[in-house]
Amino acid sequence: MSNIVAIVGRPNVGKSTFFNRLIQRREAIVDAVSGVTRDRHYGKSEWNGKEFSLIDTGGYVLGSDDVFEAEIDKQVELAIDEADAIIFMVDVESGVTGMDEDVAKLLRKVNKPVFLVVNKVDNGKRAEDAVEFYALGLGEYYTVASINGSGTGELLDALVEALPEKEEVVEEDLPRFAVVGRPNAGKSSFINALIGKDRYIVTDIAGTTRDSIDTKYNRFGFEFNLVDTAGIRRKSKVKEDLEFYSVMRSVRAIEHSDVCLLVLDANRGFDGQVQNIFWLAERNRKGIVVLVNKWDLVEKDHKSVKEYEKAIKKQMEPFTDVPIIFISALTKQRIFKAIETAVEVYKNRTKKIKTSELNDVLLPIIENYPPPAYKAKFVKIKYIMQLPTPQPQFAFFCNLPQYVKEPYKRFLENKLREHFGFTGVPISVYMRKK
């Protein structure tokens, strides 16, 4: 489990530039998938061998400054609740503002590492000006210029030093299924229907549960751990509609799982927030099963299911090889099918294919449809193997890996899916020099 670091601060202090700078180094490698950069508010970063998840709260608040005043308090409180460390960004050009003071007041009460970061410090004069931020009462500060990255090294050294050590929990080798989705999509009802007793009492009392709950589950002949975020809300502080909230919640559950059961409300469809969670799971290379809940309440005709499914797959492109199941947690319709499918996806994710079989099946196909020539140079793929990673990754060894472009990699991915069945699982295809 990696630590979560949240970046907070008022608008236009440069949070997003800073965020992009931190995830860029890795993102470029990790996300060799096109079309994944849809939401830039969540990423993984690594420094001195320590990995952490980074959340840019700024990306979640739209609206005018006065709307922002109220929102920013909510965001900061959330970050305080959820993150393991907080980066509070201010801007040397505008100096200490009233809004900065409000945020500082909330952060002074926190017993988590808080890093005050003064941005846009790109010369000696500005470094002197930064002294006024001592007035915020948060002690030492770090000066950076996110535009060119100066100063980020010292900040990151201190940050990873301060992150709590996460114990690696060694568990029995049971698949871990996370139930995720936006608030009120019916996650708790789904889990109650599965477990058969109201272990997650769907209440509106503040602080019902504090962290994602794991349930060891054995029914219908399957055994697995259920990672649940459903019961987790603190109504007292947080308005349920805060998009940032469900994303932050999902981050933990997703990172902690093998397969994500993404529950969505049939009446709301595959909307922006559900997509955020979907891409989060995809980017973490987890198995995914989409559950369309409350299907019993939808006006239907004979072609509803097909059309609904088509509409969802359109939004998922290019990763459309994902099972979609129409359920009703209320009437328990198809909830067994949902678990059965999750188990299938888990098996797909852990599937290992013999090198000889890979080469026998794919080399003839590649022979018939070779990669397009580039600048009159021909790419020859000689050999294929599956890498020894927890999720499916394949290396294609060839003479000119740099000339193999995205569309052809997608072609290879589709052939892998077609012949070896990886439904519900993101696949990574790498070109390596022979």
* Residue 303, marked binder: no
Tell me the β-bridge partners of 324: 290
* Residue 188, marked binder: yes
* Residue 119, marked binder: yes
* Residue 184, marked binder: yes
* Residue 348, marked binder: no
Secondary element (H or E) of residue 118: strand 114-119
* Residue 124, marked binder: no
Q: What is the edge-to-edge ordering of all strands in the sheet holding 428-433? A: 381-386, 393-398, 428-433
* Residue 137, marked binder: no
* Residue 9, marked binder: yes
* Residue 98, marked binder: no
* Residue 13, marked binder: yes
* Residue 86, marked binder: no
* Residue 221, marked binder: no
* Residue 120, marked binder: yes
* Residue 290, marked binder: no
* Residue 16, marked binder: yes
* Residue 287, marked binder: no
* Residue 41: closest CA among 64, 22, 16: 16
* Residue 281, marked binder: no
* Residue 224: closest CA among 287, 294, 293: 287
Half-sphere exposure (Cβ direction) of 374: Cα atoms closer than 13 Å: 12
In whole angstroms, what is the distance from residue 54 CA to residue 331 CA? 39
* Residue 232, marked binder: yes
* Residue 294, marked binder: yes
Yes or no: say if 56 and 77 are a contact pair by the CB < 8 Å rule. Answer: no
- Tokens of residue 374, six digits: 């580039």
* Residue 426: closest CA among 257, 274, 285: 285
* Residue 121, marked binder: yes
Cα 248 from chain centroid (whole Å)? 9
* Residue 267, marked binder: no
* Residue 186, marked binder: yes
Helix (H/G/I), strand (E/B), else coil: 160:
helix
* Residue 249, marked binder: no
* Residue 74, marked binder: no
* Residue 187, marked binder: yes
* Residue 122, marked binder: yes
* Residue 14: closest CA among 165, 125, 120, 136: 120
* Residue 185, marked binder: yes
* Residue 424, marked binder: no
* Residue 51: closest CA among 170, 159, 176, 169: 159
Known binding residues are 9-16, 56-60, 119-122, 181-188, 228-232, 293-296
Known binding residues for GTP are 9-16, 56-60, 119-122, 181-188, 228-232, 293-296
